[in-house]
Structure 1
Amino acid sequence: MPELSRFFGILIRMYAELDAPHHTPHFHAYYQESQAVFSIDPVAIIEGVLPERQRRLVIAWAEIHQLELMTDWDLLQDGKAPVKIDPLR
């Protein structure tokens, strides 16, 4: 699963869903032993749990990079490589 970004110990990844029913555009966030899935539009947690601080950081990052996330989603679903997204600073 391609890594899109990494910041403050949080890893952001996105899966391609080739030959599978497409779900709502989403990405996965990992922090230590926690993980969660976030929808892209609107940016919201749809599964899993992250500590509160990390959840807020992921949401802020995703809102800033929402267009880039949608572009990467489309690229992956077309079988192409996604583009890295700048981390939250």
Structure 2
Amino acid sequence: MPEITRFYGIVIKMFFGDHSPPHFHSIYGEYNALIGIESLQIIEGDLPNRAEKMVLEWATLYQKDLINIWNSQEFIKLPPLK
């Protein structure tokens, strides 16, 4: 599973050929969540509140890029949240 980015101890990854709906994985320590790219909501799993807010802020900034990665299945790294 390619790593898209990493910030503040949070790792964002995406499985190519994974099940619908389009989503990415967010891993923070022992927490793991699947985030819907279109809805920007947690589909499965959980994150601490602060980490969830940062992930959703980052995903809002790069939502179009995430959709392009999902659709093209071409790996690119995206900038971290600053």
TM interval, shorter chain, is over 0.9
Runs of 4+ in 1 over 3 A off after TM superposition: none
Aligned-partner residue type, residue 82 of structure 1 = F
Q: 5 Å matches for 1:1-89?
A: 1-17=1-17, 22-76=19-73, 81-89=74-82
Count of residue pairs brought into register by the alignment: 82
Q: Between the two proteins, what is the percent identity of the paired residues? A: 41
Larger Cα Rg: Structure 1 or Structure 2? 1
Aligned-partner residue type, residue 64 of structure 1 = L
Aligned-partner residue type, residue 85 of structure 1 = L
- Superposed CA RMSD in Å reads 1.1
Aligned-partner residue type, residue 42 of structure 1 = S
For structure 2, the 5+ residue unaligned runs are none
The secondary structure found in structure 2 opposite 1:82 is: coil
For structure 1, the 5+ residue unaligned runs are none
Distance (Å, rounded) in 2 between the aligned partners of 1:86 and 1:74: 19
Distance (Å, rounded) in 2 between the aligned partners of 1:9 and 1:72: 22
